[in-house]
Amino acid sequence: MNHSVTSREEILKASRELMAQKGWTAVNIRGVAGACGVSVGSIYNYFESKEDLVGAVVESIWQNIFRRPEDPGVFRDTQACVAWLYQCMAQGSRDYPDFFALHAVSFLPQEKSQGKRRMQKAWDHILDQLCAVLRSDPKVRPGAFGSGLSLEQFADVIFSLMISALVRRDYDPAGVQEIIRRTIY
């Protein structure tokens, strides 16, 4: 993996590889510089601090795991979208062992705020997309969302179940799909 790095994206790619192979402890300025075959100072040309690097790596991994699918049919309805999200979670768990369960607690105290902020940004994006799919889902019965349950609240429940599944390493979407079917279809 020793090669000259010329961009921020190459540094993030090397950092993702380090995370996948060796875990969070390997994602530090010196470790990333070594993996990239550059000086420590070169990393600082792209990242102000270890906190900045780790935060960018967190965001990059979330984006890599939940990158836009080639098949737009994934967003045809809520159940298809949830199935795709769970597939992404399973693949992410294979690609980045322990990322979901451990990354937030692995930050040093000074790194937690930026890491959590970047993680929340990724989560907000997933939640926004889930809301968009719910809004356009032709299977949602009229009146499914109203004063007792808003679309946003339902999306939040689905997302909360997904986060719980990540921690449990349960990548079977059947339970969530049944909740969708019984509640809004």
Residues 88 and 184: their CA atoms lie apart, in Å, by 24
70 has pLDDT over 60: yes
Q: In order of start, what are the domains of the chain with their CATH numbers? A: 8-47 (1.10.10.60), 61-184 (no CATH)
Tokens 């990322």 belong to which residue?
99
Which helix (DSSP H) or strand (DSSP E) does residue 32 occupy? helix 29-36
**Which residues contact residue 95 at a Cβ distance below 8 angstroms, ignoring those fewer than 6 apart?**
20, 64, 65
Q: pTM of this prediction?
A: 0.84
Interval 100-157: pLDDT, tens: 766 544 444 545 566 677 778 888 999 999 999 999 999 999 999 998 999 999 999 9
Average pLDDT, the chain: 88
Residues 17 and 94: their CA atoms lie apart, in Å, by 13
Give percent of the chain above pLDDT 70. 89
Q: Which of 17-26, 28-37, 90-99, 106-115 bottoms out in mean pLDDT, i.e. has the lowest?
A: 106-115
Residues 25, 28, 31: CA angle, nearest 5 degrees: 90
Residues 165 and 171: their CA atoms lie apart, in Å, by 7
Q: What is the mean pLDDT of residues 31-44?
A: 93
Interval 172-181: pLDDT, tens: 999 999 999 9
pLDDT at 104: 46
| First and final C-alpha spacing in the chain | 50
Residues 107 and 175: their CA atoms lie apart, in Å, by 32
pLDDT at 99: 83
Residues 169 and 3: their CA atoms lie apart, in Å, by 35
Residues 85 and 74: their CA atoms lie apart, in Å, by 9
Dihedral sign computed on CA atoms, order 168, 131, 146, 181: negative
pLDDT at 180: 97
